[in-house]
């Protein structure tokens, strides 16, 4: 009879073992790499209770470990936590459970974790779930292959890749840490967030480190981050993104990129809903089509209107055209980009007030300026003045017309006045109702004075001696230049010309009415470039000091009597004659 009982016991034990997974009971590591540290020797926890309903129950000692084997509708409870599975090993001496098939852990009726297999430590109150793991709480669903969960801290951790979803967002990463109390996720490595708004538009965010609050739906990122949206792309290396309001607050090396423009700054706040952004600190706007670069301290961007406004510390424009570069500074710059949906909207740059221009040997200033980039025309308004080499041009308003990246014409309207300084520092002058100055290779080639034309030019002998002054009156005067000097002067209608020799010249004869020479107002590279393009100013190399040379003594020359030079004196040039056509 004792033998029969012994055989029956081992027969039942063998059946139970066949119904459980064919694995040796073991205690797996409960701490994943990077997870919060736990105590080396935890305090004895509340015993895990086996709830009624288990179909079969067997106990015994295996490999020196006291184990209870359970099969069918297994359920346990410890404090606020329930564990369900199809079968399990319960380690009675260690307060641990190894669960198999349809494993489910529920805490506080809010957090649910499902998986193929689980290990539960009742003393540490930790759980590791493996195989098709799905974690639910009221705000999100997380899927992964391995998940560690600390029931005391209510935190979850994975290192084998995870996928999170909520009603508006999906998020993938290689590693993740989730605090179920604060509802904050920390994602690392290959983070990919896709956010969908109520209209169905999607925003795609990628980086390597992201903190996401599942309550506020706000993402905090650190490190290079790229956000792609229907209205353009964003880039930053630190900042905050609200997936509900779609407002971004970037705090390091931030950029907005569209097919035509790139706007960047140290900090950037951008509202995707309103398509409006504000950039501050080292703000840069790049127009990709026409080599236009704007820099300033503050920039405001209206994406729907295609407008960007820069101000603060005298923003500057740089426009590269071939070998020539135009720099333009003002207190405020406004760039308007062309819009495919608006036929009449042209790419235009507005600048005001206190505008300054620097381009090669052309400098200028005015109160306000409009640059039509489609037609390459610059309009200068309110007391404009231009300097080209030794020439000064003024009028009530002006136009600078460009062709193939070079200045083609300067048009001066109303009270036009041109002053040119010659080699003897005399001032040649022309004035009239309007003046057209034609350029060739960025130098004045011809000047047409239209309406009430007057001219005053000094006649020189060999660029060293003044032989007189030519004064002319006409309805129209044309001046042709060669090598920066007047070649011919022609009066085309109702001419009246006089020549005044030097001994008859008076102060009034050297100035036309309205004459005003203003060299102190001429902008320099340093004043126009400012701090924004200071690096474009090439430092002058110091001249090398000449090496001292030894002078050899020469024999004394014979004394010769002084004789007058036999070199003939060049005859005086005739004054420029006025020709009537």
pLDDT higher than 80, residue 100: yes
Reduced to 3 states (helix: H, G, I; strand: E, B; else coil), residue 12 is helix
pLDDT-derived band at 60, boundaries 50, 70, 90? confident
Say yes or no to pLDDT of 539 above 80: no
Q: How far apart are CA 405 and CA 409, in angstroms?
A: 12
* Residue 290 is assigned to a structural domain of this protein: no
Q: What is the pLDDT of residues 178-188, one digit of tens each?
A: 998 898 999 99
Q: What is the rounded average pLDDT of the residues 156-164?
A: 95
Q: Is 283 inside a domain boundary? A: no
Q: How far is the C-alpha of 233 from the C-alpha of 254, rounded, in Å?
A: 11
Tell the burial category of 262 from Cβ atoms under 10 Å away from its Cβ (0-12, 13-18, 19+): middle
Whole-number pLDDT of residue 544: 56
For the cut 70, the answer to whether the pLDDT of residue 453 exceeds it is yes
- Answer yes or no: is pLDDT of 35 > 60: no
Lowest model confidence (mean pLDDT) among 261-270, 318-327, 381-390, 416-425: 318-327
The mean per-residue pLDDT over the stretch 510-518 comes to 95
State the Rg of the chain over Cα: 43
Is the pLDDT assigned to residue 562 strictly greater than 70? no
Is 75 a domain residue?
A: yes
Instruction: Examine the pLDDT at 431 and tell me if it is beyond 90.
Output: yes
- pLDDT band of residue 28 (cuts 50, 70, 90) is very low
Calculate mean pLDDT across residues 11-35. 42
Which pLDDT belongs to residue 543? 57
State yes or no: pLDDT of 45 exceeds 80.
no
> Position of tokens 């002084």?
562
Residue that has been written with the tokens 């036009």 in this structure: 416
Instruction: State how far the Cα of 202 lies from the Cα of 282, in Å rounded to an integer.
Output: 30
How many C-beta neighbours within 10 Å does residue 110 have? 13
User: Which of 137, 152, 183 is the last residue in one of the domains?
Assistant: 137
Mean pLDDT of 313-322: 88
Q: Which residue has the higher pLDDT, 190 or 17?
A: 190
Least confident of 27-36, 430-439, 445-454: 27-36
Give residue-wise pLDDT tens across range 481-496: 887 778 888 888 778 9
Residue 195's pLDDT band, with cuts at 50, 70 and 90, is confident
Q: Is the pLDDT of residue 174 over 70?
A: yes
| pTM of the model as a whole | 0.74
What pLDDT, on the 0 to 100 scale, is given for residue 27? Answer: 46
Q: What is the mean pLDDT of residues 17-29?
A: 43
Q: Report residue 270 as tokens.
A: 């951008």
Q: Is residue 119 part of a domain?
A: yes
Contact between 317 and 308 under an 8 Å Cβ cutoff? The reply is no
pLDDT in tens, 440-451: 888 899 999 999
Query: Domain count of the chain?
Result: 2
**Cα separation of 155 and 30, whole Å?**
13
| pLDDT tens-digit readout, 264-284 | 999 999 998 898 999 999 999
Average pLDDT value for residue range 37-49: 66
Give the residue numbers spanning the domain of 465: 428-513
Confidence (pLDDT) at 177:
96
Looking at the chain, the whole-number percentage of residues with pLDDT higher than 70 is: 84
Higher pLDDT, 483 or 143: 143
The phi, psi pair for 507, rounded to 5°, reads -60, -40
Distance CA 476, CA 458 (A): 20
Average pLDDT over residues 356-378: 93
Q: In the predicted model, is pLDDT for residue 380 greater than 90?
A: yes
Q: How confident is the model at residue 540 (pLDDT cuts 50, 70, 90)?
A: low
pLDDT for the residue numbered 364? 96
Q: Is residue 177 a part of any domain in this protein?
A: no
From the list 171, 180, 173, the residue with the least C-alpha distance to 158 is 173
Q: Which of 513, 532, 560 is the last residue of a domain?
A: 513
506 assigned to some structural domain:
yes
Question: Would you call 334 helix, strand, or coil by DSSP?
Answer: strand
Closest of 152, 97, 102 to residue 121, by C-alpha: 97
In this prediction, residues 341-353 reach a mean pLDDT of 83
Strand partners, 293: 286, 318
| β-strand pairing of 355-359 with 362-366 | antiparallel
User: For the segment 393-421, what is each residue's pLDDT rounded down to a tens digit?
Assistant: 999 999 999 988 889 999 999 999 999 99
Q: What is the mean pLDDT of residues 314-322?
A: 88
What pLDDT score was predicted for residue 106?
96
**Residue 573 falls inside a structural domain:** no
pLDDT of res. 559: 38
Residue 178: other Cβ atoms inside 10 A: 26
- For residues 139-147, give the mean pLDDT: 94
**In this structure, is residue 382 part of a structural domain?**
no
pLDDT of 301 strictly over 90 = yes
Provide the mean pLDDT of the chain.
84
| Residue of 296, 297, 479 whose CA lies nearest to 391 | 479
Nearest to 294 by CA among 347, 257, 251, 349: 349
Confidence of residue 232 (pLDDT cuts 50, 70, 90): confident
Q: Is the pLDDT of residue 242 over 70?
A: yes
The rounded Cα 182 to chain-centroid distance in angstroms is 34
What whole-number distance in Å separates Cα of residue 405 and Cα of residue 365?
20
Q: Which of 468, 497, 513 is the last residue of a domain?
A: 513
With a cut of 70, say whether residue 356 has pLDDT above it: yes
For the ranges 119-133, 477-491, 550-564, the one whose mean pLDDT is highest: 119-133
Answer positive or negative: Cα dihedral of 283, 268, 187, 230.
Answer: negative
């Amino acid at each position: 009879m004792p033998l029969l009982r012994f055989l029956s016991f081992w027969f039942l034990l063998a059946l139970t073992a066949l119904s459980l997974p064919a694995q040796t009971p073991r205690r797996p590591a409960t701490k994943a790499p990077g997870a919060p540290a736990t105590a080396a020797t935890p305090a004895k926890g509340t015993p895990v209770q086996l709830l009624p309903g288990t179909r079969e129950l067997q106990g015994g000692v295996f490999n020196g470990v006291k184990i209870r084997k359970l099969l069918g509708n297994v359920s346990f409870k410890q404090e606020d936590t329930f564990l369900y599975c199809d079968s399990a090993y319960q380690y009675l001496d260690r307060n641990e459970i190894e669960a198999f098939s349809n494993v489910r852990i529920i805490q506080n009726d809010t957090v649910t974790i499902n998986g193929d297999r689980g290990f539960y430590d009742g003393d540490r109150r930790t759980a590791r779930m493996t195989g098709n793991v799905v974690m639910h709480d009221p705000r999100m669903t997380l899927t992964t292959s391995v998940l560690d969960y600390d029931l005391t801290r209510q935190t979850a951790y994975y290192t084998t890749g995870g996928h999170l979803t909520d009603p508006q967002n999906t998020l993938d990463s290689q590693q993740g840490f989730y605090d179920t109390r604060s509802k904050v996720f920390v994602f690392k490595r290959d983070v990919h967030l896709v956010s969908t708004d109520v209209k169905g538009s999607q925003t795609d965010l990628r980086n390597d480190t992201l903190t996401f609050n599942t309550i506020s739906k706000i993402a905090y990122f650190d490190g290079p981050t790229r956000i792609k949206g229907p209205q353009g792309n964003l880039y930053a290396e630190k900042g905050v993104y609200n997936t509900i309001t779609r407002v971004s607050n970037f705090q390091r090396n931030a950029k907005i990129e569209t097919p035509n423009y790139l706007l960047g700054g140290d900090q950037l706040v951008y509202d995707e809903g309103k398509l409006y952004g504000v950039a501050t600190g080292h703000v840069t706007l790049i127009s990709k089509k026409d080599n236009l670069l704007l820099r300033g301290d503050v920039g405001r961007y209206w994406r729907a209107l295609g407008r960007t406004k820069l101000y603060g510390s005298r923003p500057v424009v740089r426009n590269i055209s071939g070998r020539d570069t135009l720099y333009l500074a003002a207190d405020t710059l406004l760039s308007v980009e062309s819009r495919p949906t608006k036929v009449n909207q042209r790419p235009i740059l507005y600048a005001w007030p206190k505008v300054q221009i620097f381009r090669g040997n052309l400098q200028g200033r005015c109160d306000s300026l409009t640059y039509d980039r489609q037609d390459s025309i610059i309009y200068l308004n309110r007391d404009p003045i231009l300097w080209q080499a030794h020439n000064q041009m003024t009028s009530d308003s002006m136009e600078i017309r460009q062709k193939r990246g070079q200045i083609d014409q300067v048009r001066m309207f109303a009270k036009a006045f041109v002053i040119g300084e010659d080699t003897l520092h005399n001032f040649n002058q022309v004035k009239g109702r309007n003046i057209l100055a034609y350029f060739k290779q960025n130098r004045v080639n011809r000047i047409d004075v239209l309406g009430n034309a007057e001219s005053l030019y000094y006649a020189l002998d060999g660029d060293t001696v003044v032989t007189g002054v030519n004064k002319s009156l006409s309805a129209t005067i044309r001046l042709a230049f060669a090598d920066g000097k007047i070649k011919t002067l022609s009066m085309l209608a109702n001419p009246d010309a006089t020549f005044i020799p030097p001994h008859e010249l008076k102060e009034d004869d050297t100035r036309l009415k309205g004459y005003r020479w203003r060299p102190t107002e001429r902008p320099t590279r340093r004043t126009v470039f400012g701090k924004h393009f200071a690096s474009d100013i090439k430092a002058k190399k110091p001249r090398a000091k000449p090496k001292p040379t030894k002078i050899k003594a020469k024999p004394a020359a014979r004394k010769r009597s002084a004789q007058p030079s036999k070199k003939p004196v060049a005859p005086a040039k005739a004054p420029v004659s006025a020709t009537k056509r």
